[in-house]
Structure 1
Amino acid sequence: MSRSQVALLGLSLLLMLLLYVGLPGPPEQTSCLWGDPNVTVLAGLTPGNSPIFYREVLPLNQAHRVEVVLLHGKAFNSHTWEQLGTLQLLSQRGYRAVALDLPAHHAQRHDQQGSRGGAPIGDALPPVPAYPHCPAQA
């Protein structure tokens, strides 16, 4: 190695050491999302021919705002919202939140043959009433 290569290597190592010491570390996991023992996540099944598993949190010590419905992607389930702290955060901010498990996504829900099945979610939801259209004004 030539003298200039050794000097360049030494400067590079010194720069890396300064960056390692000078840059901040990862944030502490002391967020209010993880430590609040007052947030209770309720779980259950809806009644009916096509039960749907859900997790629910109620607002904490605040006026009830609105309801929030959380759906998941193909590779996840309702437990994902609890693991991420989303349910706890919504509860702390005064929202009632319900995380639904779409049919065939809840790992513990099996039919008697052991397959993960379920009817389309539309079969389990009540029909939305149709409202008559307003008469046209002349």
Structure 2
Amino acid sequence: MHAGRTALFGLLLAAAALAHAGSASLQVSAVVAPRVSAVVEDSPRVIQVAAADVTRGYVDFDAPVVIHLRSNLAHAFVLQMQSDTSAVARIEARTLAGPAQPTAGGLLVPPAAGQRQIVVRLRFVLAPDTAPGHYPWPLRLAGTA
């Protein structure tokens, strides 16, 4: 036990001597992975497709859809709007509030890291073989830099 204390004391003395002997530099770098998080507030579970919608080729979802965004990106990104069901060929958005512009396949979100809220109206363009009925809520979001 005495030998262990002596060795520890010796290491402490050596560390103290090195600290007084000069200086050392240490370079540290880190890479922060880009991240975009998008959550739809109170999205319905289904959309209803009527015969008139099938004839017209789309369903306009009348209720505003609120999307909460979080990002650590310092540059613009595209919030892609994709369909989770084969009944919907594509999703189009019209911005009602918030910093985003409609673009092919989603919304172009301008640079600004942090939290934001976007309010949109959605149009679900139906696939040619879609029949009237109830379908699962088709909106799936993905952020791409």
TM bucket (normalised to shorter chain) is under 0.3
Higher-strand-fraction structure: 2
Greater relative contact order structure (CA < 8 Å, 6+ sep): 2
Q: TM-score, normalised to structure 2's length? A: 0.23
The structure with the largest alpha-carbon Rg is 2
Higher-helix-fraction structure: 1
